[in-house]
């Protein structure tokens, strides 16, 4: 542990917390840093660190993945997507391909890419092919996608967009009957683009402590300490513990490009439902590059559990912070990274996979 991390930990351990405090993060990067650094094991037992809706792959609508598979299988497009997405299961009988990876094994052209620019390069290399970029992600992913669209796409490249904004999911949780958390660690990379001010609604409208954090144990501990002090002092404000990167106002150029390219629309979150103003849609001016327009949907009415989580999977409760990953009955039994049942065990940003990778094996040992 670094001297700075020790400093913040000493301050936290010196607080006299009269009751438990549940601190939620909404970022897979935060959850990974917390888990890999073992912060839960060194913090006082009154503090529960809860992973929330921080994984865009986990909440990507099942029907979007199914649509991507059908485009690759039926329309014979070259389908590209970020690697995590390829293994996410959809609800189909075992006799059919149940993921993009399985579609590839069945003969479809499906390629993993590491950045939006890879899609552009592939489209230029294969002008004779229709290339569809299945683009799922939060603001940090959608900003470079928007920049790519703004610069002009080749005629043969279209987007199957599944982009989401993070703050509306937190607002939805806070407006629900049982929000499951008492303080928020806001995502530093989103704040860097959209501005830390976007999270002011947490203390202002809901009187909950909030702090923006970066991705080191030091920054996370500083943010946790801030929210705990706010709790003890019975006040709430937005602290910025990532001020060296997340500047007031954010990245105004990225915000302008996001606005120019996308409309903000109501959007479906897998297992959760439609959240108002939480999705990105290509604006009318870019509709020629919208795969949903270029390839009209062919719904398969015979699909069972359409749009839902796989049977028995508790990913939706995990994503909303209602249970911890190891409270899912399938955790480590029917569901492991090698044989994932739900998206949270597939993605590097999924809480189940992160907890498994950081060594959590006991289903009872880490209650939220
Ligand atoms: Fe879903 Fe598997 Fe996590 Fe359970 S352990 S919530 S089945 S991903």
Q: Which atom of ligand 1 is nearest to the CA of 312?
A: 7
Residue 331 CA, closest ligand 1 atom number: 5
Q: Which residue from 103, 52, 54, 97 is spatially nearest to 81, judged by alpha carbons? A: 103
- My answer on whether 140 and 78 are in the same domain is yes
Q: What is the dihedral of CA 142, 147, 152, 154, to 10 degrees?
A: -50
> Which residues lie below 8 Å from residue 80, measured CB to CB, with a gap of 6+?
110, 111, 112, 113, 118, 119, 122, 131, 132, 133, 134
List, in order, residues 6 or more apart from 324 with CB less than 8 Å away.
Answer: 50, 51, 318, 351, 355, 366, 367, 368
Query: Who's near 108: CB < 8 A, 6+ residues apart?
Result: 69, 72, 73, 76, 79, 97, 100
Ligand 1 centroid–CA 325 distance in Å is: 7
Whether 292 is in a domain gets the answer yes
For residue 340, which atom of ligand 1 is closest to its CA?
A: 2
Is there a single domain that holds both residue 277 and residue 337?
no
Full domain range(s) for residue 338: 315-357
Do 282 and 335 lie in a common domain?
no
Q: Are residues 295 and 324 in the same domain?
A: no
Say yes or no: CB of residue 280 within 6 Å of ligand 1.
no
Ligand 1 near 335 CB (within 6 A): yes
279 and 349: one domain? Answer: no
In contact, 306 and 53? CB cutoff 8 Å = no
Tell me the helices (H) and strands (E) count for the chain, helix number first: 16, 11
**Domain membership flag for residue 295:** yes
Whose alpha carbon is nearest atom 5 of ligand 1?
Answer: 331
Residue 319 within any structural domain of the chain: yes
- 288 and 346 in one domain? no
Tell whether 352 and 262 lie within a shared domain.
no
pLDDT score of 158: 98
Residue 158 is part of a domain; what is its CATH number?
Answer: 3.40.50.11740
If you ran DSSP here, which 8-state letter would residue 281 be given?
E
On whether both 158 and 65 belong to a single domain, the answer is yes
What is the pLDDT at residue 299? 67
Q: What is the pLDDT of residue 83?
A: 87
Identify whether 234 is part of a domain.
no
Nearest atom in ligand 1 to the alpha carbon of residue 329 is 4
pLDDT score at 367: 42
Binding site membership of 222 for ligand 1 (Cβ less than 6 Å): no
- Residues pairing with 78 in the sheet: 131
pLDDT in tens, the chain (368 residues): 899 999 999 999 999 998 899 999 999 999 999 999 999 999 999 999 999 999 999 999 999 999 999 999 999 999 999 989 999 999 888 889 999 999 999 999 999 999 999 999 999 999 999 999 999 999 999 999 999 999 999 999 999 999 999 999 999 999 998 899 999 999 999 999 999 999 999 999 999 999 999 999 999 999 999 999 999 999 999 999 999 999 999 999 999 999 999 999 999 999 899 999 999 999 999 999 999 999 987 667 677 677 788 888 999 999 999 999 999 999 999 999 999 999 999 999 999 999 999 999 987 544 44
Return the structure tokens found at 42. 């060194």
The pLDDT assigned to 366 comes to: 44
C-beta separation of 351 from 345 below 8 A: no
The answer to whether residues 349 and 57 touch, using CB atoms and an 8 Å cutoff, is: yes
Which ranges of the chain does DSSP label H, i.e. alpha helix? 3-13, 28-37, 39-42, 56-59, 62-74, 100-105, 116-125, 139-150, 167-175, 188-194, 201-206, 217-232, 252-261, 291-294, 315-319, 351-357
Ligand 1, pocket-test mutation among 89, 91, 325, most atoms within 8 A of CB: 325
- 257 and 160 in a common domain: yes
In-domain check, residue 186:
no
331 lines ligand 1 (CB under 6 A): yes
Task: Looking at the structure, tell me whether residues 261 and 333 fall in a common domain.
Answer: no
Q: How many domains does the chain have?
A: 2
Ligand 1 atom with least separation from CA of 350:
8
Best of 318, 354, 360, 366 for a ligand 1 pocket test (most atoms within 8 Å of beta carbon): 318
What spacing in Å lies between the alpha carbon of 90 and ligand 1's midpoint?
A: 14
Six token digits for residue 203: 């203390």
- Are residue 273 and residue 335 in the same domain, yes or no? no
Atom of ligand 1 nearest to the CA of 325: 3
pLDDT at residue 364, as a whole number: 58
pTM of the predicted model, to two decimals?
Answer: 0.93
Contact 131, 119 (CB under 8 A): yes
Looking at the fold, whether 287 and 349 belong to one and the same domain comes out as: no
| Residue 114: count of CB within 10 angstroms of its CB | 8
């Amino acid at each position: 542990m670094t001297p700075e991390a020790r400093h913040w930990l000493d301050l936290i351990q010196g607080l006299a917390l009269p009751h438990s405090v549940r601190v939620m993060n909404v970022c897979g990067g935060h959850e990974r840093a917390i888990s890999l650094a073992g912060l839960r094991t060194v913090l006082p037992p009154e503090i529960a660190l809860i992973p929330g809706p921080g994984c865009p792959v986990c909440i990507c609508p099942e029907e979007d993945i199914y649509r991507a598979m059908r485009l690759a299988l039926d329309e014979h497009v070259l389908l590209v997507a970020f690697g995590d997405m390829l293994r996410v299961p959809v609800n189909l009988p075992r006799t059919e391909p149940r993921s993009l990876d399985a579609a590839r094994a069945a003969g479809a052209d499906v390629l993993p890419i590491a950045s939006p620019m890879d899609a552009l390069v592939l489209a230029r290399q294969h002008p004779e092919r229709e290339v569809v970029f299945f683009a799922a992600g939060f603001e940090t992913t959608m900003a470079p996608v928007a920049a790519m669209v703004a610069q002009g796409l080749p005629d043969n490249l279209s987007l199957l967009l599944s982009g989401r904004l993070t703050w509306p999911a937190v607002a939805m949780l806070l407006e629900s009957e049982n929000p499951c958390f008492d303080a928020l660690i806001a995502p530093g990379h989103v704040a860097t683009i959209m501005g830390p001010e976007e999270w002011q609604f947490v203390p202002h409208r809901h009187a909950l402590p909030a702090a923006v954090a970066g991705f080191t144990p030091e920054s996370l501990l500083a943010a946790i300490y801030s929210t705990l002090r706010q709790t003890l002092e019975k006040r709430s404000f937005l602290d910025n513990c990532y001020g060296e990167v997340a500047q007031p106002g954010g990245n105004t150029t990225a915000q302008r490009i996001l606005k120019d390219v996308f409309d903000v629309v109501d959007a479906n979150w897998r297992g959760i439902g439609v959240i108002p103003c939480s999705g990105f849609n290509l604006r009318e001016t870019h509709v020629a590059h919208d795969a949903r327009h270029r390839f009209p949907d062919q719904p398969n009415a015979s699909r069972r559990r359409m749009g839902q989580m796989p049977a028995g999977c508790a990913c939706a409760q995990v994503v909303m912070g209602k249970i911890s990953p190891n409270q899912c009955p399938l955790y480590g039994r029917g569901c492991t990274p090698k044989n994932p049942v739900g998206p949270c065990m597939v993605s590097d940003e999924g809480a189940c996979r992160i907890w498994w990778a950081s060594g959590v094996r006991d289903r009872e040992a880490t209650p939220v």
